[in-house]
Amino acid sequence: MELSKRYDFILLFDVKDGNPNGDPDAGNLPRIDPETGEGIVTDVCLKRKIRNYVGLMKNDQPPYEIYVKEKAILNNTHKRAYQAIDHDLSKDTSKRKGGDRVDEARAWMCQNFFDIRTFGAVMTTTVNCGQVRGPVQLTFARSIDPIFTAEHSITRMAVTTEEEAKKQSGDNRTMGRKFTVPYGLYKAHGFVSPALAAQTGFSTSDLELLWEALINMFEYDRSATRGLMSTQHLIVFEHNTVLGNKPAQDQFSRLVVKKIDNTPIRSIDGYQILLDGAPLKRGVTTISI
């Protein structure tokens, strides 16, 4: 079924003794806002986890196949679209392969790939499947308070080459560094547009799968580097019209998260989380506007 309502949502998740989103340009340190010290997790990082969850749950099969995935060759995927609509690319003389069949190819891509009809995609490569503006958009997640980055020395009891072993007289130790956030509670905002959903085919069943992914995505993304990451709250604001009843920021301001005291926080119990002035229960909360 097509979406008939607009949705805004808030995602609250936390990390304990882990690196939620390392910055490769800074030695893989946890990302921070340099002016405030608040931690950051990019929208791309969150979308990756959603894609991985959906691909795992749906076995990466149409109509829930994943377009942006590890080791994907995008032009090869685009060629599949033209094969499906029976267009011979070898006889196509247009500068970007596809010509006047691009709209059909784009529609096929939306129909078969969950992340395209959800987040959109720029598919204007040499094999052109056009552009899609997705109905679901996410902001960067930002920590409620400034984070502290802990640095740890680690030891590997092995070396890579015989030459290294000889230099160490058989000691065979390799030293390294690991960066973690002792604890951080992060908040991200999201938006679902039914007008754009109608263009991509994003349906009510896709929306339910999105909510499911946001709740469970960290359960299937465990690693020693990321420590303990968990979705704590998903607050969904459901409007009763396509265009919505109120601005998103008016809804987001209804959630208040504040420290209970000034001691260092090491769990979500160190915060008071209020929605419209009342304590919020863990899990999914849907508010009709």
Q: Tell me: the pLDDT tens digits for 191-230?
A: 999 999 999 999 999 999 999 999 999 999 999 999 999 9
Nearest to 208 by CA among 103, 136, 272, 281: 136
Average pLDDT of 244-264?
A: 95
Task: Specify the pLDDT at position 156.
Answer: 84
Tell me what pLDDT residue 176 has. 84
The Cα–Cα gap between 216 and 212 comes to 6
Q: What is the pTM of this model?
A: 0.93
Residue 279 has pLDDT above 80, yes or no: yes
Q: What is the mean pLDDT of the chain?
A: 95
What per-residue confidence (pLDDT) applies to 32?
A: 97
User: Would you say residue 43 has pLDDT above 90?
Assistant: yes
Q: What pLDDT is recorded for position 119?
A: 98
Burial (CB count within 10 angstroms: exposed 0-12, middle 13-18, buried 19+), residue 24: exposed
95: pLDDT strictly greater than 80? no
Mean pLDDT of 79-95: 91
* Cα distance between residue 238 and residue 288, in whole Å: 5
Closest alpha carbon to 8 in 151, 212, 193: 193
Q: How far apart are CA 217 and CA 34, in angstroms?
A: 28
**pLDDT of amino acid 147:** 97
User: 175 pLDDT band (50/70/90 cuts)?
Assistant: confident
Asked if 46 and 223 touch (Cβ cutoff 8 Å), the reply is: no
Mean pLDDT of 262-269: 95
Q: What average pLDDT does range 169-185 have in this prediction?
A: 89
Based on DSSP, count helices (H) and strands (E) in the chain, helices before strands.
8, 15
- The pLDDT tens digits for 116-158 are 999 999 999 999 999 999 999 999 999 999 999 999 988 888 8
What pLDDT is stored for residue 169 in this prediction? 82
Average pLDDT estimate for 88-93: 87
Phi then psi dihedrals of residue 162, to 5 deg: -65, -35
The tokens describing 225, both together, are 């580097």
pLDDT of residue 249: 96
In this predicted structure, what is the pLDDT of residue 157?
87
How much is the pLDDT for 168? 84
Is residue 145 a contact partner of residue 265, using CB atoms and an 8 Å limit? yes
- The confidence score (pLDDT) of residue 206 equals 98
